[in-house]
Amino acid sequence: MSTGLFIVGLKDALPIALGYLPLGFAFGLLGAEAGLKTLEIVLMSLFVYAGSAQFIAVSMLSSGASNMAIIIATFFVNFRHFLMSTALLPHFRNFSPRVIPLLAYELTDETFVVSTARYSHEPPHQSYHLGLSLTSHLGWISASWLGASTGSALISTEKWGLDFALPAMFIALLFFTLRNKRSYLVACLAGGFSLFAALYIPGNWGVLLAAILGATGGVISEKWIAE
Amino acid sequence: MDSRIVWLLLGMSLVTYLPRVLPLVLFKNFQLPDLLLKWLGYIPTAILAALLLPSLLIRNGQLNIASHNEYLIAALPAFLVAKTSKSMVWTVLAGMGAVMLLRTIG
């Protein structure tokens, strides 16, 4: 365990936690409106810890859906983590087998992209990964608790532009991964398809299919594009 | 706590955890083929672009590429700051600041 690297991870998680604030707050608010108790909302953020699935669960609860329907929807929405987990495997090679199940539990889109962006130029370390993951999760839980317990807007997230924190973070991270012509091609393919899917394909498979298409395009293009 | 919600939390936690943990446990002792590793190397870029583009261009469920889409406009200063500062914190602050400004004047 390296305290120094844990702190670096903690610092890298601050923009993530900032981005989770309006989202978690909104989730807590909607959960309370859907009739969930504050404890239930906090437990969902603790145990499920998957933003989009939690939003879907709350809206399905409000419309009277069955548990089974909500659980199946959750599975489909979160299946993209399967790809991310596989992509993290090479980075986790030297991590302790006892820590890996916890780090897997803490995997989100945001911690995945922040950590892989770092591991492209710095060696992976489990202390860094723990600091990053636990801080982000704590941010998510606190924000949902705030939303659930206030029940009405404490701060105007819209006025302060907080809702743009996550897209802005994705812009920074995407920019950091764009290293050569091939990566631009991958981004255009995946982004374009994802946009198309979001508009015309019902369900939540768009991001997963777009990622598969983009990465496959990148591998195929290695024949024609030198870099 | 309502027992229905307990079951819901258990079920949701399980189907969320399995895709997160299974690759790390199942493939741990395999040497993944080079082609697959190359492919996985493109996954961060692909997932980021796939998450970002719809979040900028689809507002209220509809494609919005007009000048009143403040996300689209704020993306420009965010991109510029990302390019010059190479810092995530400054990029996030620039993006949020731009959205705040656009909402104040608009």
- Stretch B85-104: mean pLDDT, rounded? 89
For chain A, say whether B84 makes contact (Cβ under 8 Å). Answer: no
Chain B touched by A36 (CB under 8 Å):
yes
**A-chain residue closest to B31, CA distance:** A90
Short-list A135, A172, A137, A171, CA closest to A11: A135
Question: In 3D, which of A57, A78, A107, A75 has the Cα closest to residue A207?
Answer: A78
Model ipTM value: 0.85
Residue-wise DSSP of A91-138: GGTTS-TTTHHHHHHT--HHHHHHHHHHHTTS---HHHHHHHHHHHHH
Element of type H or E holding B59? strand B58-59
The pair of three-digit structure tokens given for residue A196, joined into one six-digit string: 């198309």
Cα B21 to Cα A46, A124, A196, B78, B88: the distances in Å are: 17, 18, 30, 34, 28
**pLDDT tens digit at each of 227 positions of chain A:** 899 999 999 999 998 898 888 888 888 988 988 889 999 999 999 999 998 889 889 988 988 889 998 998 888 888 889 989 999 999 999 999 999 999 999 999 899 989 998 998 899 999 999 999 999 999 999 999 999 998 655 556 677 787 788 788 889 889 888 888 999 999 999 999 999 999 998 776 788 899 999 999 999 998 887 76
3-state secondary structure A175-215: HHHCCCHHHHHHHHHHHHHHHHHHHHCCCCCHHHHHHHHHH
B87 touches chain A (CB under 8 A): yes
How far is it, in rounded angstroms, from Cα B36 to Cα B74?
36
What pLDDT, on the 0 to 100 scale, is given for residue A78? 86
CB–CB of A76/A57 below 8 Å?
Answer: no
| B45:A214 CB<8 A | yes
